[in-house]
């Protein structure tokens, strides 16, 4: 009986003192927010998927310098651009090794065939690979690569030429995006031969800093350092993504040391995190803009004066204080300050209800009017609570005699109806993909975007459009900067939007994590990270 | 017995058909479109939209889509997820063991504590013990799971450091997946430490998941026992001079268990399907969270296939309970 009691006590002790301290010193555990959709970044548009695949496993010909939007050489050592801006020749790095894993051992180094394969899978509908795993190459098509690229030509084993249909300044930035990751043709061929091509997208092989080891949906992803990594082996031996959906639980895991870095903290937890001596909180303005757009096809928003009045009527500081709770900054420009062409605008709208009333009177609306504000039903990185934001706007508008009704729909319906122009005014936002200003101006404010409905204000100003079109083909960055500034002056004057805020992104981690850099695109990279004792 | 089993199995067919049709049409009635949701703010051109609609077969008339789907199901194919491009059955197979493991442990916990607590409350009727047990079970029943789980995590994991916060096992253990049941896989790997660690990770989620069934079982056992203890045969047993232990556990409990088993069956079905919150909070990779996410993203094949599989499980559990009834109750056996 006594022996039994001892055994029970022993088991209990094992339980409560059980090995709570995590992983060995060279293993970093990252509490991520969800499961990846695939391990092939060509097939997805989700940041969670990119974090788990392209950002740890793969490289691209050109890459963003970690922590910046600056383009640096990746698998291409250098590149030439033809005078007419139509031909890009990439000179490839030699002796780059692909991962050698339990399921694939490469017999050769990376070369031009891999680049050719990676792009042709996404662009050539006749390729047998095109339809594998559903064949939905979202980003490749969304960034217009299917129309932009005329041909991809292998000049020799270490030179590749990409020919464009028209000059395109953001092309290089786009080439640094996740969907342009380079996959192994040799691995692809071996899988096709074995009759299991879809394995390529489940069990990845890349040239990046970490090799894929194991994945269990909704539980974890295991990686280990790539010993032959061309930039040098990582200090971390192992990397684990502990998939933890709830942000409060991610924080609890960080506090107990179950993970060393956590994704997407709750804005309300930031204060307590900053007070915790074991935790560091890195922060950076997000590459995003939240805006309130006016449908210029619907009166009274066809009048610039009314739109300007809206800009004066809204107290953006109050929105920032209530909705973002210190996790955002006022947006005075279409683009966030992390983009190279950003400059604080000279003329900004400052909260001034009297001025707003005056402008309304000039527009013949002194008695006020009734209008709709569409508010998103979901939380987005650029807008934590659109419904509440709409309520604050509603209050501000009531002060100048406008009765605003808040309208909302299911997210997919909301996007579709607004693309069809059914709204009068709408709250929405945008997160940049490649750090290029064109990635904000063209998809959101061009005349072409007004045709497709992605330009939710349906505002089409020829002068503005010419300026951003010129900037898109201009190669000189200085000249592009000037063109965008001129375009912003017209934008401010015409006021198709109220630019509301750029959210600030936070990245909490334990103090023993060294070398972690925040990515302006909102992703996470563990290359260059180490753990101190 | 065999007749009963056959009768039950015959009833399963219309049940399955009903569930298949309901899920298929209801998810399509809900506003939202998987392709638009996948596209997000970036949108998708009309041509591309049409192309994707065709690829997923959403461009067909609804009735044709339904008959195609039925035919697929009859051939054992539940379709492929729109989001992950993985077969639904494969995803279910990977996630279900985690749900089942947690549900079984939680149910064992709820039964082991719930039945004796109910018996004790009934035997000590109207005493402090009875009132305490009733009060605790009422609190347990009305406890919001989300809040209760976070409270336990804050106390036992964050403040006391006794329990892990989330997950199925510490990441220092790299256990190969054989059955998908962590307790079994750690034993198969011959790693005793890993087994205890997996058990350790089960404690908090099992307590949280067991809270409501525990309260229900306790209350049901209590009321059923009170009913039985009033019966003449109990008085006879006592008059015969049987020990109180024998009266309670041999004569009363066995008869009182019949409604309790029904409740256990129903609660098990709920645990298998309704562990969504527990799974999300404890980062438990189970089917609850999987289906919820599929509903949010309008991933039609996953919602349809997932619900069908869960319905199958619920029917299986309930049929088993009905059969257990017969085993326990000799009167039913004779019929």
Let me know the angle formed at the C-alpha of A52 by A49 and A53, rounded to the nearest 5 degrees.
85
Most confident residue range from A351-360, B18-27, B240-249:
A351-360
In angstroms, how far apart are the furthest CA atoms of chain B?
A: 86
Q: What is the pLDDT of residue A22?
A: 44
Interface contact B45-A29, CB threshold 8 A: no
Mean of the pLDDT values across residues A408-428? 90
Do B79 and B87 contact (CB within 8 A), yes or no? yes
pLDDT of A388 > 70? The answer is: yes
Q: Would you place residue B193 in the very low, low, confident or very high pLDDT band (cuts 50, 70, 90)?
A: very high
Do A267 and A325 contact (CB within 8 A), yes or no? yes
Beta strands A149-156 and A159-164: pairing type?
antiparallel
pLDDT of A455 > 80? The answer is: yes
Q: What is the pLDDT of residue A427?
A: 97
Integer angstrom CA distances of residue B311 from A59, A205, B22, B112: 45, 39, 12, 27
Q: Would you place residue A10 in the very low, low, confident or very high pLDDT band (cuts 50, 70, 90)?
A: very low
- The partner residue sitting opposite B171, judged by closest CB among A37, A240, A246, is A240
pLDDT of A23 > 60? The answer is: no
Q: What is the pLDDT of residue A212?
A: 97
The two three-digit tokens of residue B281, written as one number: 């909070």
> In chain A, which residues have their Cβ closer than 8 Å to the Cβ of B161?
20, 256
Q: What is the pLDDT of residue B54?
A: 84
**Bridge partners for A222 per DSSP:** A214, A240
d(C-alpha B116, C-alpha A252), whole Å? 35
Q: What is the pLDDT of residue B41?
A: 65
d(C-alpha B223, C-alpha A311), whole Å? 67
Q: How many angstroms separate the CA of residue B227 from the nearest CA in chain A?
A: 36
> In chain B, which residues have their Cβ closer than 8 Å to the Cβ of A20?
161, 164
- The partner residue sitting opposite B164, judged by closest CB among A198, A240, A258, is A258
Q: What is the pLDDT of residue A224?
A: 96
Burial of A318 (0-12, 13-18, 19+ CB in 10 A): middle
Q: What is the pLDDT of residue B326?
A: 74
d(C-alpha B332, C-alpha A76), whole Å? 78
Q: Would you place residue B332 in the very low, low, confident or very high pLDDT band (cuts 50, 70, 90)?
A: low
CB atoms within 10 A of CB A63: 20
Name the 3-class secondary structure at A213. strand
* DSSP state at residue B247: I
Task: Choose between A411 and A60: higher pLDDT.
Answer: A60
pLDDT of A19 > 70? The answer is: no
d(C-alpha A276, C-alpha A257), whole Å? 13
Task: Choose between B240 and A242: higher pLDDT.
Answer: A242
> In chain B, which residues have their Cβ closer than 8 Å to the Cβ of A260?
none
Q: Would you place residue A18 in the very low, low, confident or very high pLDDT band (cuts 50, 70, 90)?
A: very low
Interface contact B165-A201, CB threshold 8 A: no
B29, B194, B283, B284: which to substitute to probe chain A, counting the most A Cβ within 10 Å? B283
Output Rg (C-alpha) for chain A, integer angstroms: 26
> In chain B, which residues have their Cβ closer than 8 Å to the Cβ of A24?
172
Q: What is the pLDDT of residue B317?
A: 81
- The partner residue sitting opposite B171, judged by closest CB among A16, A220, A452, is A220
Placement of tokens 């050719």 in the chain: A116
Do A247 and A269 contact (CB within 8 A), yes or no? yes
The two three-digit tokens of residue A445, written as one number: 């404010």
Q: How many angstroms separate the CA of residue A380 from the nearest CA in chain B?
A: 10
* pLDDT above 70: percentage of residues in chain B: 96
Interface contact B153-A16, CB threshold 8 A: no
Residue of A nearest to B170 (CA): A22
pLDDT of A481 > 50? The answer is: yes
A27, A249, A272, A407: which to substitute to probe chain B, counting the most B Cβ within 10 Å? A249
Q: Per residue in B113-160, pLDDT tens? A: 999 999 999 988 889 999 999 999 888 888 888 889 999 999 999 999
d(C-alpha B328, C-alpha B125), whole Å? 26
Interface contact A253-B168, CB threshold 8 A: no
Residue of A nearest to B164 (CA): A20
Mean of the pLDDT values across residues B232-246? 84
The two three-digit tokens of residue B83, written as one number: 């989001």
Task: Choose between A226 and A47: higher pLDDT.
Answer: A226
The two three-digit tokens of residue A298, written as one number: 């619907």
Tell me which of B219-223, B237-241, B278-282 is least confident: B237-241
Q: How many angstroms separate the CA of residue B43 from the nearest CA in chain A?
A: 7
- Regarding an ipTM greater than 0.90, the answer is no
pLDDT of B331 > 80? The answer is: no
Interface contact B85-A20, CB threshold 8 A: no
Interface contact B85-A201, CB threshold 8 A: yes
The two three-digit tokens of residue B194, written as one number: 């890993």
Burial of B61 (0-12, 13-18, 19+ CB in 10 A): exposed
Q: Would you place residue A1 in the very low, low, confident or very high pLDDT band (cuts 50, 70, 90)?
A: very low
Pick from A173, A162, A148, A141: nearest CA to A74: A173
d(C-alpha A448, C-alpha A445), whole Å? 8
Rounded to an integer, what is the distance from CA A192 to the centroid of its chain?
Answer: 32
> In chain A, which residues have their Cβ closer than 8 Å to the Cβ of B168?
219
Indicate the average pLDDT of chain A.
90
pTM for the whole structure:
0.82
Q: Per residue in B286-302, pLDDT tens? A: 998 888 888 888 888 99
What share of residues in chain A are helix, strand, coil (percent, to 5)?
A: 35, 20, 45
* DSSP state at residue A276: -
Task: Choose between B44 and A402: higher pLDDT.
Answer: A402
A411, A413, A453: which to substitute to probe chain B, counting the most B Cβ within 10 Å? A411
Do A70 and B116 contact (CB within 8 A), yes or no? no
pLDDT of A159 > 70? The answer is: yes
Q: What is the pLDDT of residue B335?
A: 53
Q: Per residue in B265-322, pLDDT tens? A: 888 888 877 688 888 889 899 998 888 888 888 888 999 999 899 888 888 888 887 7
What share of residues in chain B are helix, strand, coil (percent, to 5)?
A: 80, 0, 20
> In chain A, which residues have their Cβ closer than 8 Å to the Cβ of B282?
249
Q: What is the pLDDT of residue A3?
A: 44
- The partner residue sitting opposite A22, judged by closest CB among B83, B98, B171, is B171
B40, B149, B174: which to substitute to probe chain A, counting the most A Cβ within 10 Å? B40
């Amino acid at each position: 009986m006594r022996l039994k009691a001892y055994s029970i006590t022993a088991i209990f002790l094992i339980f409560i003192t059980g090995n709570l301290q995590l992983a060995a010193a060279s293993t970093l555990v990252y509490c991520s927010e969800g499961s990846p959709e695939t391990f092939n970044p060509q097939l997805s548009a989700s940041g969670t998927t990119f974090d788990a695949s392209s950002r740890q496993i793969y490289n691209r010909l050109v890459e963003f310098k970690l922590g910046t939007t600056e383009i640096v050489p990746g698998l291409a050592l250098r590149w030439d651009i033809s005078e007419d801006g139509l031909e890009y020749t990439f000179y490839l790095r030699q002796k780059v090794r692909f991962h050698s894993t339990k399921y694939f051992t490469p017999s050769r180094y990376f070369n031009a065939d891999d680049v050719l394969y990676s792009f042709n899978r996404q662009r050539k509908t006749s390729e047998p690979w095109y339809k594998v795993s559903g064949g939905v190459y979202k980003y490749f098509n969304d960034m217009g690569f299917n129309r932009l690229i005329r041909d991809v030509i292998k000049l020799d084993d270490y030179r590749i030429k990409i020919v464009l249909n028209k000059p395109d300044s953001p092309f290089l930035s786009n080439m640094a995006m996740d969907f342009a990751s380079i996959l192994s043709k040799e691995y692809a061929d071996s899988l096709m031969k074995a009759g299991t091509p879809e394995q390529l997208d489940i069990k990845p092989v890349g040239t990046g800093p970490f090799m894929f080891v194991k994945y269990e949906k909704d539980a974890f992803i295991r990686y280990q350092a790539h010993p032959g990594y061309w930039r040098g082996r990582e200090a971390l031996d192992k990397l684990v993504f502990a998939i933890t959906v709830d942000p409060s639980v991610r924080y609890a895991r960080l506090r107990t040391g179950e993970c060393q870095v956590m994704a997407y903290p709750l804005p309300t937890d930031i204060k307590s995190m900053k007070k915790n001596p074991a935790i560091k909180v890195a922060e950076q303005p997000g590459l995003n803009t939240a805006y309130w757009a006016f449908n210029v096809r619907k009166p009274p928003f066809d009048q610039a004066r009314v739109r300007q009045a809206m800009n004066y009527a809204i107290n953006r500081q109050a929105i920032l204080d209530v909705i973002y709770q210190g996790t955002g900054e006022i947006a005075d420009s279409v683009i966030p300050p992390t983009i190279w062409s950003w400059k604080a605008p000279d003329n900004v709208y400052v909260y001034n209800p009297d001025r707003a009333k005056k402008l309304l009177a000039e527009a013949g609306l002194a008695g006020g009017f009734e209008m709709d504000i569409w508010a998103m039903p979901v939380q987005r990185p650029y807008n934590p609570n659109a419904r509440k934001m709409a309520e604050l706007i509603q209050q501000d508008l009531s002060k100048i005699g406008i009765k605003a009704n808040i309208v909302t729909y299911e997210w997919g319906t909301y996007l579709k109806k607004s693309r069809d122009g059914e709204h009068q005014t709408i709250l929405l936002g945008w997160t940049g993909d490649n750090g290029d200003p064109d990635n904000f101006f063209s998809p959101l404010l061009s005349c072409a975007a007004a045709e497709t409905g992605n330009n939710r204000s349906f505002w089409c100003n020829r002068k503005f459009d010419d300026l951003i079109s010129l900037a898109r083909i201009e190669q000189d960055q200085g000249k592009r900067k000037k063109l965008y500034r001129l375009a912003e002056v017209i934008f401010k004057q015409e006021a198709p939007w109220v630019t509301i805020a750029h959210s600030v992104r936070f990245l909490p981690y334990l103090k023993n994590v060294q070398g972690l850099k925040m990515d302006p695109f909102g992703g996470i990279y563990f290359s260059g990270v180490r753990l101190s004792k | 017995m065999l007749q009963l089993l056959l009768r039950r199995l015959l009833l399963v067919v219309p049940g399955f058909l009903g569930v298949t049709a309901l899920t298929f049409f209801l998810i399509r009635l809900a506003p939202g479109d998987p392709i638009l949701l996948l596209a997000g703010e970036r949108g998708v051109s009309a041509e591309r939209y049409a192309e994707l609609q065709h690829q997923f077969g959403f461009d067909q008339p609804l009735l044709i889509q339904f008959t195609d789907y039925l035919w697929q199901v009859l051939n054992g194919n539940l379709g492929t997820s729109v989001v992950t491009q993985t077969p639904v059955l494969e995803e279910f197979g990977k996630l279900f063991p985690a749900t089942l493991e947690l549900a079984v442990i939680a149910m064992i916990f709820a039964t082991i504590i719930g039945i004796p607590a109910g018996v004790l409350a009934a035997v000590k009727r109207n005493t402090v013990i009875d009132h305490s047990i009733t009060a605790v079970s009422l609190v347990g029943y009305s406890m919001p799971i989300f809040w209760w789980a976070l409270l336990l995590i804050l106390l036992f994991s964050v403040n006391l450091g006794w329990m892990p916060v989330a997950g199925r096992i510490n990441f220092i253990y790299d256990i190969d997946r054989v059955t998908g049941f962590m307790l079994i896989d750690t034993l198969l790997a011959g790693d005793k430490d890993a087994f205890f660690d997996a058990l350790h990770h089960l404690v908090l989620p099992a307590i949280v998941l067991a809270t409501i069934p525990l309260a229900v079982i306790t209350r049901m056992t209590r009321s059923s026992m009170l009913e039985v203890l009033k019966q003449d045969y109990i008085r006879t047993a006592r008059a015969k001079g049987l020990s109180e232990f024998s009266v309670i556990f041999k004569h009363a409990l066995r008869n009182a268990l019949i409604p309790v088993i029904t409740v256990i069956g129903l609660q098990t079905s709920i645990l298998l399907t309704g562990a969504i919150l527990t799974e999300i909070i404890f980062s438990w990779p189970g089917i609850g969270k999987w289906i919820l996410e599929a509903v949010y993203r309008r991933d039609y094949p996953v919602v349809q296939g997932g619900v069908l599989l869960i319905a199958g499980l619920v029917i299986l559990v309930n049929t088993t309970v009905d059969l257990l009834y017969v085993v326990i109750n000799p009167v039913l056996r004779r019929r």
